């Protein structure tokens, strides 16, 4: 500290406790003030300001002061360190001085000569009272003497305290020292400095440091930021809300702190409020985000407009709180701007309910000058436009209702209910406007007019209804919902404001589903309504409904980012990230495909690596489970976000599926590409052993197959349904081509032993078969049944694939497990095109199956004439026999194929061949009763004398016992083959009679002649013809029975007459009975019984029953007599 010696005018420097008693000068700077450097030079007396130094030293010396301090020449202003120290010490230096002399160079008044004249007019006009630095020079000294321009005493601070108080606004008790400076609020002390001027803008702040006991380094050039720094330092020292209670027409930064002390010009009456539990005693902090302070907050308008309540008031208004306008810019209750700087509001503490408007931790950034805010009153929309008096804001925000609004009756309410259920909004509004009865009625759903008006957002109607004394504001309908609930569901914030202003409204009421108004507002995405509800402490932010969902859960589920942002900004949200169902907001957002919500949730809170969610993938960590879910739903952007935040790309669900497997299974090709690009493993298998490529093929997803094939080599060694096998099974030509292009092996097999080529052939897929053959697939492979591709193609009658196989040298002679080769099968089924291709391909015509049948025999057996012709033209052997000894001709005759018989005869077939029963073709033809075939065979030179093993000639065969009932022998084949000839017995026999080489007296092994057999079997035309040819009518068989005997026994009267007419004898048979005797004894009954064995058995049974019915009554009577005896 530099001091001036009043005797020598020398500058001396003192430090610490060595500082002597001194007097200090307070003055306003004039021209040519003397500096410290000037005082050390010899020419200092030449400056005008030296006279001031000289006079002050003279005054001080007269008052016995050896040293004095003057700011102009006792500070080395060329030394920034010393200057900074002096600025920070100046208040203390004035305070420590024995006396301060205030030299008023513009005041001529003196206490001696003008005792009767008031000092105030001239004193109040003094420049000294307008300078910034003189404020601390007025307050700091204990003793202050005012001197006029002639260095005469005007008076002391104590003497002039009344005038000084009026001039400066400083309370008299503070001037007199009766009250400590700290009893004045920050706002009051700031107000004393308003309208004062300094040479440098920064000095407006620096000159106040001592008044607030603040020390900070001066930084010239920082302009108004100096005052911001001053307030920040004050905040660190004083818990005084009045520092925020300023207003200004020029403020443009949007922060809590004023940019100029002039903003406090109207704050002389702002005092600190009493200590109250309403205001938490938490410290204020300043960070790069802004000023953090905990204040009660009342939402009062749209776009986040509200009042922050300060613990300060105005003199005479101790029942009020000062309120400042803040805007919650992002509706997060985190970052606010000060708006409407020109206003301070008073809120009545009597009606302020801390249970509804508790203190909130808020942050107000102190923005730079480049951010301009012009939120004037006209631009701020209050919830209640009629609200002008905030002294009653909490008690009654309702304005007087329009006089033309009327009440509603029951009939109108029922109509209102019906219209509302139909969603007819305009009709509902019209009915509300026309109602004219009473306000407390309810409809069938127990809904009132207030409920409907609230849901429709009819502010004026709600306002009017609330003004009625009979209204039940919180009434519940049959679903447990209140008007507040309906208003929240539709986001009618103005209505919410009106309803919650009532004392009897439960802000957290629940309906039958457990949902609160906040839950409905959040689910609907009404961020402003959510914000407003959350400004109240009586609203539970994380309440759970019956399904366990919180408001945040509903918001996330529907992707309402703004609402999610509001909740995430809350400090209590991290502890409520899981709702009652065990799920997180991220889970709901991911499940619903809400990209923006997912991104916000991922970026806004930390997710533990092992945390799990109660969703379909609860076996995996949350992000990994959500990645599986995204893969299932095809949410590509969400998957990308999850991967960005290190979601495990190869995590597995309960079935062992990775996200890649899930994406492939659900045909989400873009997702597959994304996962592959991010390094997903392609070899991972699920619990069924399936890899991604296999699933892609199974789904016939060629795009995914191509993506996977870039990284995966097809598994060619597995014996199960692997890639190429599955693609062929699914007839997926494109996938097969892709696999073959990636060098997939063509010889893998499925569980039944099918190779890809076998499967393609079985499926009749020409294109795949061609692709496989072009890739050199083996043509000799067999399945479990021994089928080769050629055999399968033949079975399918697929001439295209047969041709392809033959072109690729397929073996035509390979047989399956049943002994069939392609030609055998084709011949059997009459596949002429296939037969032709096979024959051209060198197929062996004499191959045989398990029944020893050749292709020709099979073709004949099944009546395929064209096939027979093809085989014969290719040199098929006609005399080859099957295991029944049948040649081609015998088989054709047996099956009644006359055309085939004719074809074979033309080709020179042997007509004397016999089967195992030694039957010739003619014998078979006669046995089958085919006149056409008999004629064909006879024309072909067949010997009619040839007999079978029983010695029967064709003639005997035709009229034997076996042909009794064979009038239409081939009726079963009639619909199958048009070449079958249906002939009667007589038509066949006629060509076999004598004259054609037949012997009419030849007998069979039982000695029966043709005539005897004809008579026995009732062939009247044959009997007649034989008799005409000279047959013996009395021929006896080995049992001695004659034709007459058999005709008589079988009741053939016409034949009996014909035989008797042609010389048949009526002699006895081998048993000595004549026919006449037999007939006279037994009559018709015996005759009937003898006609057939079946009939005889029936007659015998009837005879036995007759005897029993006769004997039983007799036996019963005898038994009764014995009992009586």
Q: Are residues 155 and 250 in the same domain?
A: no
Token couple for 166: 């009026």
Structure tokens that stand for 67 in this block: 């040293």
User: In terms of domains, do 359 and 472 share one?
Assistant: no
**What is the mean predicted confidence (pLDDT) over 41-46?**
83
Question: For 346, phi and psi rounded to 5 degrees?
Answer: -110, 125
Please indicate, yes or no, whether residues 22 and 164 belong to a single structural domain of this protein: yes
What residues form DSSP beta bridges with 363?
292, 335
Q: What angle do CA 563, 568, 574 make, to 5 degrees?
A: 140
Tell whether 962 is covered by a domain.
no
pLDDT for residue 97 is more than 90? yes
Tokens of 55: 């006079």
Cβ–Cβ < 8 Å for 534, 541: yes
According to the model, what pLDDT value does residue 223 have? 93
Answer left, alpha or beta for residue 195, where phi above 0 means left and psi between -120 and 50 means alpha.
Answer: left
Answer whether 678's CB lies under 8 Å from 651's CB: no
DSSP states along 782-809: --TT---HHHHHHHTT-HHHHHHHHHTT
Q: Rounded to whole angstroms, how far apart are CA atoms 520 and 558?
A: 12
Distance (Å, whole) CA 700 – CA 527 = 46
28 CB-side CA count, 13 A = 20
Residue 870 lies inside a defined structural domain of this protein:
no
As given in the structure block, the two tokens for residue 699 are: 């789904």
- Same domain for 289 and 146: no
Residue 930 lies in a domain: no
Which of residues 1032 and 167 earns the better pLDDT score?
167
C-alpha neighbours within 13 Å on the C-beta side of residue 682: 22
SS3 208: coil
Q: For residue 382, what is the DSSP state?
A: B
Q: Are residues 172 and 252 in the same domain?
A: no
DSSP per residue, 654-679:
TT---HHHHHHHTT-HHHHHHHHHTT
In a shared domain, residues 338 and 455? no
Q: How confident is the model at residue 553 (pLDDT cuts 50, 70, 90)?
A: very high
Residue 999 has pLDDT above 90, yes or no: no
Are residues 256 and 175 both part of a single domain?
no
Number of domains in the chain: 4
> How far is residue 347's CA from residue 393's CA, in Å, rounded to a whole number?
7
Report residue 950's pLDDT band, with 50, 70 and 90 as the boundaries: low
- Single out the residue in 557, 576, 595 at which a domain terminates: 576
User: Has residue 406 got a pLDDT over 50?
Assistant: no
Residues 12 and 142 in one domain: yes
Q: What is the reported pLDDT for 791?
A: 94
**Spatial CA neighbour of 516 closest among 528, 505, 504, 503:** 505
In a domain, 483, yes or no: yes
Instruction: Using the 3D structure, point to which of 576, 595, 618 is the last residue of a domain.
Output: 576
Q: In whole angstroms, what is the distance from residue 591 CA to residue 267 CA?
A: 56
Torsion of CA 724, 726, 728, 733, to 10 degrees: -80
Answer left, alpha or beta for residue 854, where phi above 0 means left and psi between -120 and 50 means alpha.
Answer: beta
Locate 45 and state its tokens: 């007396």
What is d(CA 127, CA 853) in angstroms, rounded to the nearest whole number? Answer: 139
pLDDT digits (tens, 9 = 90+) for 871-907: 999 899 998 888 888 898 888 888 888 888 888 888 8
> Is residue 98, in this structure, part of any structural domain at all?
yes
- pLDDT at residue 892, as a whole number: 86
Q: Kindly provide the residue ranges of all beta strands, DSSP E only, lying in 104-257, ordered along the sequence.
A: 144-147, 153-156
Which of 678-682, 1099-1103, 1104-1108 is modeled with the greatest confidence? 678-682
| Low-confidence winner among 148-157, 179-188, 421-430, 933-942 (lowest mean pLDDT) | 421-430
User: What does the alpha-carbon distance between residue 1042 and residue 979 come to, in Å, rounded to a whole number?
Assistant: 40
Count the neighbouring beta carbons within 10 Å of the beta carbon of residue 176: 12
The pTM is what? Answer: 0.61
Report which DSSP code applies to 980.
P
Cα 46 from chain centre: 91
Instruction: Answer yes or no: do 20 and 102 share one domain.
Output: yes
Distance CA 337, CA 327 (A): 5
Token pair recorded at residue 761: 């052939």
What is 2-43 written as a DSSP string? EEEETTT--EEE--GGG---EEEEE----TT---HHHHTSTT
Phi, psi of 320 (to 5 degrees): -120, 155
pLDDT class of 397 with cuts at 50, 70, 90: very low
Ranges of H-type helices in 501-645: 517-524, 527-534, 551-557, 561-568, 585-591, 595-604, 622-633, 636-644
Shared-domain flag, residues 483 and 355: no
Is residue 92, in this structure, part of any structural domain at all?
yes
State yes or no: pLDDT of 1078 exceeds 50.
Answer: no
Q: Which domain holds residue 1047?
A: 1010-1062
- Is residue 348 domain-shared with residue 464, that is, in the same domain? no
Separation CA 567–CA 836 (nearest Å): 82
In-domain check, residue 33: yes
| pLDDT for the residue numbered 1088 | 46
CATH number of the domain bearing residue 571: 1.25.40.20
Q: What pLDDT band is residue 974 in, cutting at 50, 70 and 90?
A: very low
Quote the longest CA-to-CA distance of the chain. 203
- For 376-391, the pLDDT digits (tens) are 444 567 776 655 454 4
Instruction: Give the 3-state secondary structure percentages of the chain, helix then strand then coil, rounded to 5.
Output: 45, 10, 50
Residues near 951 by beta carbon (within 8 Å), at least 6 away in sequence: 1003, 1004, 1005
Percentage of the chain exceeding pLDDT 90: 40
- Report yes or no on 881 lying in a domain: no
Same domain, 174 and 31: yes
Task: Output phi, psi for 405, to 5 deg.
Answer: -80, 135
Instruction: Examine the fold and report which residue of 365, 392, 421 is the final residue of a domain before the chain moves on.
Output: 365
* CA 216 to the chain's CA centroid: 59
């Amino acid at each position: 500290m530099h001091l001036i010696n009043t005797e020598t005018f020398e500058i001396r420097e003192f430090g610490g406790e060595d500082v002597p008693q001194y007097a200090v000068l307070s003055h306003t700077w004039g021209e040519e003030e003397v500096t410290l450097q000037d005082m050390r030079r010899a020419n200092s007396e030449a400056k005008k300001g030296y006279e001031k130094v000289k006079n002050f030293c003279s005054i001080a010396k007269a008052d016995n002061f050896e040293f004095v301090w003057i700011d102009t020449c006792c500070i080395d202003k060329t030394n920034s360190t010393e200057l900074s120290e002096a600025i920070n010490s100046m208040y203390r230096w004035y305070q420590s001085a024995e006396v301060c002399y205030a030299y008023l160079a513009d005041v001529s008044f003196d206490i001696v000569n003008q005792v009767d004249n008031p000092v105030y007019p001239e004193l109040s006009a003094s420049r000294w009272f307008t300078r910034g630095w003189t404020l601390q020079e007025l307050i700091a000294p204990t003793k202050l003497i005012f001197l006029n321009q002639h260095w005469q005493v005007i008076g002391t601070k104590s003497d002039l305290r009344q005038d000084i108080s009026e001039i400066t606004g400083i309370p008299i008790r503070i001037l007199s020292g009766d009250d400590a400076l700290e009893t004045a609020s920050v706002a009051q002390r700031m107000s004393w400095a308003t309208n004062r001027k300094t040479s440098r803008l920064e000095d407006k702040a620096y000159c106040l440091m001592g008044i607030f006991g603040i020390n900070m380094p001066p930084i010239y050039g920082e302009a108004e930021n100096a005052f911001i720094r001053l307030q920040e330092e004050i905040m660190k020292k004083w818990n005084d809300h009045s520092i925020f209670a300023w207003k200004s027409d020029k403020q443009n930064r949007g922060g809590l702190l004023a940019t100029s002390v002039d903003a406090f010009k109207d704050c002389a009456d702002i005092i600190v409020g009493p200590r109250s539990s309403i205001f938490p005693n938490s410290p204020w902090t300043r960070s790069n985000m802004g000023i953090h302070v905990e204040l009660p907050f009342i939402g009062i308008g749209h776009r986040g407009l509200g009042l922050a309540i300060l613990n300060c008031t105005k003199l005479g208004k101790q029942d009020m709180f000062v309120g400042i306008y803040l805007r919650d810019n992002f509706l997060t209750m985190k970052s606010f701007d000060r708006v409407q700087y020109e206003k301070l509001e008073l809120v009545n503490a009597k009606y302020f309910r801390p249970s509804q408007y508790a203190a909130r931790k808020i942050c107000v950034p102190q923005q730079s000058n480049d951010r301009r805010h012009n939120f004037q009153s006209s631009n701020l929309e209050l919830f209640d436009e009629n609200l002008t008096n905030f002294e009653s804001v909490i008690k009654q925000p309702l304005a007087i209702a329009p006089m033309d609004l009327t009440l509603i009756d029951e009939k109108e309410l029922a109509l209102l209910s019906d219209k509302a259920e139909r969603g007819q909004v305009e009709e509902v509004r019209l009915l509300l406007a026309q109602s004219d009865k009473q306000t407390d009625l309810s409809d069938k759903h127990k809904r009132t007019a207030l409920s409907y008006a609230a849901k429709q957002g009819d502010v004026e109607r709600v306002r009017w209804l609330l003004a009625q004394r009979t209204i039940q504001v919180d009434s519940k309908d049959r679903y447990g919902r209140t008007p507040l609930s309906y208003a929240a569901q539709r986001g009618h914030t103005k209505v919410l404001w009106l309803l919650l202003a009532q004392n009897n409204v439960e802000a957290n009421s629940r309906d039958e589903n457990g949902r609160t108004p906040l839950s409905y507002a959040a689910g609907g995405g009404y961020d402003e309504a959510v914000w407003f509800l959350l400004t109240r402490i009586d609203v539970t932010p994380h309440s759970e409904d019956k399904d366990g969902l919180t408001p945040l859960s509903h918001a996330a589920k529907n992707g309402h980012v703004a609402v999610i942002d509001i909740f995430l900004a809350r400090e209590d949200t991290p502890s409520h990230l899981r709702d009652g169902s065990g799920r997180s907001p991220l889970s709901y957002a991911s499940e619903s495909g809400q990209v923006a919500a997912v991104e916000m949730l991922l970026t806004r809170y930390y997710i533990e690596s092992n945390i799990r969610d109660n969703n379909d993938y609860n076996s995996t960590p949350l992000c990994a489970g959500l990645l599986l879910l995204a893969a299932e739903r095809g949410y590509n952007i969400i998957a990308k976000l999850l991967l960005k935040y290190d979601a495990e790309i190869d995590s597995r669900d309960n079935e062992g599926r990775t996200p890649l497997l899930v994406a492939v299974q659900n045909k989400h090709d873009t997702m597959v590409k994304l996962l592959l690009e991010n390094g997903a493993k392609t070899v991972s298998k699920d619990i069924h052993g399936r890899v991604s490529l296999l699933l892609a093929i199974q789904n016939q997803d060629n795009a995914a197959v191509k993506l996977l094939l870039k990284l995966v080599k097809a598994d060619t060694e597995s014996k199960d349904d692997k890639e190429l096998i599955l693609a062929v099974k699914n007839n997926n030509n494109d996938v097969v081509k892709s696999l073959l292009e990636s060098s997939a092996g063509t010889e893998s097999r499925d569980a039944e032993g099918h190779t890809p080529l076998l499967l393609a052939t079985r499926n009749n897929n020409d294109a795949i078969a061609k692709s496989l053959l072009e890739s050199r697939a083996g043509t000799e492979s067999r399945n479990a049944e021994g089928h080769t591709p050629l055999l399968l193609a033949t079975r399918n009658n697929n001439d295209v694939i047969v041709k392809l196989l033959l072109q690729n040298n397929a073996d035509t002679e390979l047989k399956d497990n049943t002994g069939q080769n392609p030609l055998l099968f084709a011949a059997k089924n009459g596949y002429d095109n296939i037969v032709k291709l096979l024959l051209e391909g060198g197929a062996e015509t004499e191959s045989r199956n398990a029944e020893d049948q050749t292709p020709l025999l099979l073709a004949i057996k099944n009546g395929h004439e064209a096939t027979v012709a093809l085989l014969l033209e290719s040199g098929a052997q006609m005399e080859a026999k099957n295991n029944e000894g049948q040649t081609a001709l015998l088989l054709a005759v047996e099956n009644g194929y006359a055309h085939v018989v004719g074809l074979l005869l033309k080709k020179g077939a042997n007509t004397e061949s016999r089967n195992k029963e030694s039957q010739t073709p003619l014998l078979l033809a006669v046995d089958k009763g085919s006149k056409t075939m008999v004629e064909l065979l006879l024309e072909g030179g067949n010997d009619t004398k040839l007999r079978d093993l029983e010695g029967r000639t064709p003639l005997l065969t035709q009229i034997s016992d076996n042909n009794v009932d064979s009038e239409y022998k081939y009726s079963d084949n009639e619909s199958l083959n048009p070449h079958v000839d249906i002939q009667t017995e007589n038509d066949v026999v006629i060509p076999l009679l004598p004259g054609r080489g037949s012997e009419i007296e030849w007998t069979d092994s039982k000695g029966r002649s043709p005539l005897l057999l004809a008579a026995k079997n009732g062939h009247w035309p044959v009997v007649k013809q034989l008799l005409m040819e000279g047959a013996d009518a009395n021929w006896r068989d080995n049992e001695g029975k004659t034709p007459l005997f058999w005709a008589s026994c079988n009741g053939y009267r016409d034949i009996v007459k014909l035989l008797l007419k042609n010389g048949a004898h009526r002699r006895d048979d081998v048993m000595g009975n004549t026919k006449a005797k037999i007939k006279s004894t037994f009559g018709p009954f015996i005759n009937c019984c003898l006609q057939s064995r079946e009939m005889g058995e029936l007659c015998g049974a009837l005879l036995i029953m007759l005897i029993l019915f006769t004997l039983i009554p007799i036996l019963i009577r005898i038994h009764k007599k014995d009992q009586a005896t």
